[in-house]
Amino acid sequence: MQDNATTKPCPLCKSPGRFHRLVDEYPLAKCTACGFVYVDVSDQHIEDVTFNYGDSAKAHYAESQSIIDFLWFDKISRKLTAGKTNLKVLDIGCGNGVLLQQFQKRGCDSYGSDPSPWAQDCVRHHGYKMIPTIEKANVDPDFFDIITSTSTLEHVARPVEHLTEIIRILKPGGKAYFTIPNYGSLPIRLRIVKGRLVAPPGHCSYFTTRTLRYLFTRQDYADKIAKIKINSYGIPESYGIYSWFSRKLKRSKKKPKDTASAPPKAEAKPKPDAGRRVDSKALLVGVYYWCGRPFGLGDKLEATITKA
């Protein structure tokens, strides 16, 4: 099987692919020309899976999102809106709307796009606007000041067509911000991750720094992108580490207390001032972010493109 060409051409350059590896019985292919890794199943099969995430996805968000996620989303929204007002913002794959809430509190006109049925509940609760998938939404050209796509591009079967539409509806000078799992991360290079970061067929496009840059520099729209910035970030397998500590903490809370021998409670200490809390948050996010920067081995990739 490894010597045979795959049935599906590369989604980025349409060149033939070769068998790369098998994950959960799904074959991954690697392009013989640009090196892009993708799932060798039909686009329709990928969309059938991606567009039908049910309540289990809602529960996953509730269980997996940590304080780091909320602080990270606050950082993203603050950075993208710095010094600007009355911005139109679209979050593709908005899920439970946590990122859009950060934009809302900064006065942005906020829109979400997510095919998951449960995401509609979040729209009603938080009051932002929902549009269909951008390929079907008929949005006017040059409409949005900011477009974000966090942990979404890896679910897109046709990334070139998807990016073409993002550029079309983004205003000149506007920014599109992406985060995606890094297929060049240390755990994946060592083949010690088989599930969460790879997870076919819901995850169908596996970008490295090189292949993500190739996507942004295709001739189709090279003259429409003025700036490209790509970094890796995040402690590899930070979610696994967070889950391990959470389980340990829950077990320790369940242990019965020996009330007879317990010392009297000390007087409550005054809470730290707001400045110290902000510093602690900044330190937490900074450690998470910068530990994944060296050598492009971080848990995720982030990219910002500016439309010409």
Residue 274 has a pLDDT of 43
Residue 120 has a pLDDT of 74
Contact 184, 296 (CB under 8 A): yes
pLDDT tens per residue, range 214-237: 999 998 898 999 999 999 988 765
pLDDT tens per residue, range 37-57: 999 999 999 988 877 665 555
Residue 55 has a pLDDT of 59
Query: N- to C-terminal Cα distance for the chain?
Result: 44
Selected from 2.60.40.10, 3.40.50.150, 3.30.479.10, 2.60.40.1930, the CATH number assigned to the domain covering 43-237+291-307 reads 3.40.50.150
Residue 170 has a pLDDT of 98
What letter would DSSP give residue 256?
P
What letter would DSSP give residue 103?
H
Residue 121 has a pLDDT of 74
Residues of the chain falling short of pLDDT 70: 1-6, 52-66, 193-197, 236-282, 284-285, 288
Contacts of 26 (CB under 8 A, 6+ apart): 39, 40, 41, 200, 201
Please state the pTM of the whole predicted model: 0.81
Token pair 């609760």 in the structure block, residue:
125
> For 100, what's the count of Cα atoms within 13 Å in the CB-facing half-sphere?
28
Contacts of 18 (CB under 8 A, 6+ apart): 2, 4, 5, 6, 29, 30, 32
Token pair 């993500």 in the structure block, residue:
212
Residue 151's closest CA among 190, 116, 110, 104? 116
Residue 282 has a pLDDT of 63
Residue 126 has a pLDDT of 78
E-strand ranges in 152-263 read 170-181, 205-206, 225-233
Torsion sign, CA atoms 166, 112, 238, 206: negative
Contact 233, 254 (CB under 8 A): no
Token pair 């993002």 in the structure block, residue:
166
